[in-house]
Structure 1
Amino acid sequence: MSSYDVRIHAILTNELSGRKKSYTVRWKVAGRPFRDTFATRALAESFRSKLVVSQREGVAFDKASGLPEPMARALNTRSWLEHAIAYVDMKWPRASAKHRKGIAETLATVTPALLMTDRGVPNDKALRAALYGWAFNKSRRDAGDPPADLTTAVRWLKGNTVDLAALTDATLVRKALDTLALRIDGAPASPATIARKRAVFSGALKYAVELRLLDTHPMSLVSWTAPKTADEVDRRAVVNPDQARALLAEVGRAVPELEAFFGCMYYAALRPEEVLHLREDEYERPAHPGGWGALHLTGSTVAVGRYWGDSGDTAEDRELKHRGKTATRDVPVPPPLVRLLDHHLNEYPSGPNGRLFVTRRGPGGRYVPTAGQPIPNNTYGKAWRGARAKVLTAAQQRSPLARRPYDLRHAAVSLWLNAGVPATQVAEWAGHSVHVLMRVYAKCVYGAEEAAKNRVEAALALQESQPSY
């Protein structure tokens, strides 16, 4: 709290023993008395003059310390590292494990741009390990001192990041933003990555304003434009039905327990984390042979690493994307996916937790359920890369075509739209809003432009045929 009700009194001289004196500056803020004593009159007069100048210039005074707000902030200033750690701790309890990792990654990226000196600085690898692996991971930091291999880097960082007040320098803020626009290897980051990291950095600075450690948000001082984010799906990444079937068949030949896993992405447009969360009781079989089934989705399973979640597991169960914790989503299962899922369940019984897709191991190529651990990202990623290498031509492998398993979901949604399924229904099945659906997939709707031209042409022909009077 602050106040403009300030009264500054004359300096009080104090007689001490041995002919010594001290000098006390006295003032009141909102009726509350404050005082500070100095060894010499010159020091007392200098301090009092600062109070007087602030009062004349209409600067608010902090009620707690009695000082003008700029002086109070300087008194309570903290280093960038201290503030960044405080920001992590504030966000940690309510953030998902994936969001915690994102915050730590951003702060670890930007902190090397906010150092006071490069004298004695540890190498880049050591700095990142100290920041991402310990300082910005509350669980590991709360466990005790940093590991021996990080101690030197952590100690150096604690004494060598700039004071938070230094971020009122627009040049420094621009340097930080430019750093966020680069990958670790120095190449430009993607527009989506830059936007995500900029939002985290902005949040940390906003928290400083909220704590009244800064007057204004430092980014408001800088005219810095982030690269445009391309929301649209690259149509070059979208496989056609023949290519999709060939890729799934190759997965079925090489890694058979994953064919239905990828099938769920292509035939039902599931996200990988939704497939990992799928349980046997969420699969509703068709009412009659050759019919359609249904999937009743209840959540997602996200790989997060051992030290980012609250349970200590490497994966975290979350709600469906963009939905509440108890929300569900129903997705139809066409006959080709019914066949894949039924075959999968016959060959590979679900794990102890009911999950359809868990890590499996066994001699002679016979796979058996493990304790129910979700399939690691690198496991299904390797299987997909192997299928691409077998099915696609050399030119196609160099292209974006089905480069990621996620591109199967894009192919499914594009197929639905091009088949004439209403956008509202596609959005419901895919777990999007209609607005996001059309913004992201607009370029993947084949024939829409030609159909529009035909309708305009027909309308013009109708007008020309009408008699004019």
Structure 2
Amino acid sequence: MITMAMCWDMPGRPKGQLLRRALRHWAFVVPGPEQRELPAEDRLVLQWVAKASRPLVDLHDPIMARDVLESLRRKLDGGEAAVETMRRKRKVLVHALHYAVERGELGSHPLEKIRWRVPKPSVAVDPRAVANPYQARDLLSAVSYVGGYRRARGRRLVGFFAGMYYAGLRPEEAVAVALPDCRLPRTGWGRLILHRTLPQAGKRWTDTGKFHDERGLKNRPPGETRLVPLPPHLVALWRDHVATFGTADDGRLFFTEQGRIITYTTYNRVWYETRELALPPALTSTPLAKRPYDLRHSALSTWLCAGADPAEVAQRAGNSVEVLLSRYAKCLYDRQSINNQRIEGLLSAYDKPPEQDQ
């Protein structure tokens, strides 16, 4: 969007879809060995971009700079982008311009004088998305019914989703769980030592040409680990999973039929079908556990609701206490009913007049 906003309105402007494809596939990435033959159509598009691109110094024009910043608000369909998307794109733009200043392409940062701010995001998790233990249990049970039995499209992912709920794992952490990092006893609690994640970036954006990058833990120094206790129910699920499906070549617990890393498209599709199976019609249209990540929200909320020490919860989840209390300290679905019963019980104790001493 920023590059397109920085182009003159010259004759011969390609259609938006062609322009974005050429920029995404050829201008913003280094083509791999098998992709060095630039298609003729994309070559013409990039030639137009080279002629129409405005120089960076034009960003010192406040009107131009504001137009570029306003482009961060728009989605491809013309609607308003999410606040987090705006913040991420603005951060990339600011860093790119700082780099241009360092290289001598710009004398000063052109956005410093522009009073344009991204709206503050909603920090707290929507309590409507948080499932209670009964609902989470029904959802995890329903995962195994997705797809045919032979392909086991859903059964392969029961333990994956269970790790997000019972251990509070992020999706990129659950994808990377390997058997050598786990202690899965026959009885009692187990443990997982997290030391890597496998976030999905796409083939064109990784150095290896694979869909996933291998990285360390989120917001942690390289090489740092995190110890995650595993409740007995999750230990049993993972033991059964290994007994049924084995492990991938590198020891990963969760993988496709071909042994590949699970993509977010795969588990999101399974989760969509799971909600249709597990939730009553009145709840399928609500935000309740709408995304797989909501299982992590439910996990952390459950731990806090159980009275666990926030510092311990934050350590297990890989968050700071401040982030935990501002984002995840939300009530469980229908937790008000539990508190109402407690309050009603206390009030009922005072319905009868106190006995008088004889």
TM-score by length of 1: 0.67
| TM alignment of 1:232-271, pairs within 5 A | 232-254=124-146, 255-271=154-170
Contact 1:233 1:444 (C-alpha < 8 Å) held by counterparts: no
- Match in the other structure for 1:349: 246
1:278-325 Cα distance to aligned partner (Å, 9 max, x none)? 111111023x52x11111112111222112111112222111111122
Contact 1:191 1:229 (C-alpha < 8 Å) held by counterparts: yes
Contact 2:301 2:330 (C-alpha < 8 Å) held by counterparts: no
**3-state SS in 2 of match to 1:437:** helix
2:267 maps to a residue whose letter is Y
CA positional deviation for 1:377: 1.4
**How many residue pairs end up in the alignment?**
330
Aligned equivalents of 1:320, 1:125: Cα separation in 2: 36
Contact 1:134 1:141 (C-alpha < 8 Å) held by counterparts: no
1:198 maps to a residue whose letter is R
- Match in the other structure for 1:282: 181
1:432 maps to a residue whose letter is N
CA positional deviation for 1:117: 2.0
Contact 1:349 1:356 (C-alpha < 8 Å) held by counterparts: yes
2:247 maps to a residue whose letter is S
Aligned equivalents of 1:441, 1:353: Cα separation in 2: 33
Moved over 6 A (4+): none
CA positional deviation for 1:425: 0.1
Aligned equivalents of 1:143, 1:379: Cα separation in 2: 26
2:42 maps to a residue whose letter is L
Identity, % of aligned positions? 40
- Match in the other structure for 1:118: 10
CA positional deviation for 1:381: 0.9
Aligned equivalents of 1:357, 1:314: Cα separation in 2: 16
1:317 equivalent in alignment to 2:317: no
Structure 1: give runs of 5+ residues left out of the alignment: 1-108, 361-369, 455-469
- Match in the other structure for 1:381: 268
Match of 1:406 among 293, 317, 339: 293
CA positional deviation for 1:153: 0.5
Contact 2:301 2:329 (C-alpha < 8 Å) held by counterparts: no
TM-score by length of 2: 0.87
**Residue 143 to residue 390, structure 1, CA distance change in 2 (3 Å):** closer
User: Based on CA coordinates, which of the two structures has the bigger radius of gyration?
Assistant: 1
1:284 maps to a residue whose letter is R
Aligned equivalents of 1:116, 1:148: Cα separation in 2: 22
**3-state SS in 1 of match to 2:272:** helix
**3-state SS in 1 of match to 2:122:** coil
Aligned equivalents of 1:213, 1:376: Cα separation in 2: 40
* Larger RCO of the pair (alpha carbons < 8 Å, separation 6+): 2
Contact 2:142 2:274 (C-alpha < 8 Å) held by counterparts: yes
CA positional deviation for 1:260: 0.8
Aligned equivalents of 1:436, 1:159: Cα separation in 2: 47
| TM alignment of 1:24-423, pairs within 5 A | 109-140=1-32, 144=36, 146-254=38-146, 255-286=154-185, 289=187, 291-360=188-257, 370=258, 372-423=259-310
CA positional deviation for 1:330: 0.9
Q: Which has the higher strand share?
A: 1
Deviates more, 1:129-138 or 1:411-420: 129-138
1:24-55 Cα distance to aligned partner (Å, 9 max, x none)? xxxxxxxxxxxxxxxxxxxxxxxxxxxxxxxx
Aligned equivalents of 1:262, 1:213: Cα separation in 2: 48
CA positional deviation for 1:140: 4.8
1:311 maps to a residue whose letter is T
Contact 2:6 2:53 (C-alpha < 8 Å) held by counterparts: yes
- Match in the other structure for 2:356: none
Contact 1:135 1:141 (C-alpha < 8 Å) held by counterparts: no
How large is the RMSD of aligned CA atoms in angstroms? Answer: 2.0
Aligned equivalents of 1:385, 1:267: Cα separation in 2: 20
Aligned equivalents of 1:326, 1:206: Cα separation in 2: 29
**3-state SS in 1 of match to 2:295:** helix
CA positional deviation for 1:163: 1.3
CA positional deviation for 1:378: 1.2
Aligned equivalents of 2:10, 2:116: Cα separation in 1: 26
Aligned equivalents of 2:205, 2:57: Cα separation in 1: 30
2:294 maps to a residue whose letter is D
Contact 1:417 1:423 (C-alpha < 8 Å) held by counterparts: yes
- Match in the other structure for 1:441: 328
Contact 1:134 1:140 (C-alpha < 8 Å) held by counterparts: no
